[in-house]
């Protein structure tokens, strides 16, 4: 009897857990599926050496998008118009040095599909960054990691938005 009772209790707890999980709005994220007319694309950037452009090239290739060097009538065009990082001071130390920044990474791009009008999209990503003048080298490395993370998230967001066009 105790084994059967413990199985029933564990099943009841599992069912309760699933009900709570589904009740909170959790759902699995679908993979980004790029529509057929965007499977061949020309990727253009204002700055050809932009780190976001390089990240976007790698992510689009992983999403099975064929990147062409020259535009044609059958290929879509993705133009990265801007990617800019701005810093705003959030707080100061007692001595007047900056203690915390808010980083705002803004991205704007234009998508031109074959036979359709171009559409422009833009978004911003935000992060807080705490500065420490005593550990300048470590904080510089942390800032580089934050910027890399912001670029990855921006690239993934562009691909998600392409999949919803």
For the CA atoms of the chain, what is the radius of gyration?
23
Greatest extent of the chain over all pairs of C-alpha atoms, in Å: 73
User: CA-CA distances (angstroms) from residue 129 to 49, 118, 143?
Assistant: 25, 36, 8
In the block, which residue shows the tokens 């980004």? 32
State in Å, rounded, how far the first CA of the chain is from the last one. Answer: 57
pTM of the model: 0.73
43, two tokens: 């990727």
Q: One digit per residue, pLDDT tens: the chain, 165 residues? A: 566 767 888 888 888 777 777 777 665 555 557 888 888 899 988 888 889 999 999 999 998 888 888 877 778 899 999 899 898 877 777 887 777 888 899 999 999 988 889 999 999 999 887 776 666 666 678 888 889 999 999 999 999 998 887
- pLDDT of 33 reads 76
- pLDDT of 74 reads 77
């Amino acid at each position: 009897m105790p084994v059967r009772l413990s199985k029933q209790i564990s099943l009841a707890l599992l069912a309760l857990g699933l009900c709570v999980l589904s009740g909170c709005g959790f759902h699995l994220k679908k993979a980004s599926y790029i529509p057929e007319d965007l499977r061949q694309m020309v990727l253009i950037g204002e700055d050809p050496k932009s780190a976001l452009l390089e990240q976007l090239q790698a992510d689009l290739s992983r999403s099975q998008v064929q990147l062409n060097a020259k535009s044609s009538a059958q290929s879509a065009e993705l133009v990265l118009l801007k990617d800019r990082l701005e810093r705003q001071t959030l707080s100061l130390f007692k001595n007047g040095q900056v203690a915390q920044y808010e980083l705002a990474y803004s991205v704007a791009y234009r998508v031109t599909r074959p036979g359709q009008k171009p559409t422009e999209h833009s978004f911003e990503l935000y992060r807080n960054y705490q500065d420490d003048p005593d550990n300048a080298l470590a904080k510089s490395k942390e800032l580089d990691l934050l910027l890399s993370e912001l670029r990855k998230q921006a690239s993934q967001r562009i691909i998600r938005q392409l999949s919803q066009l």
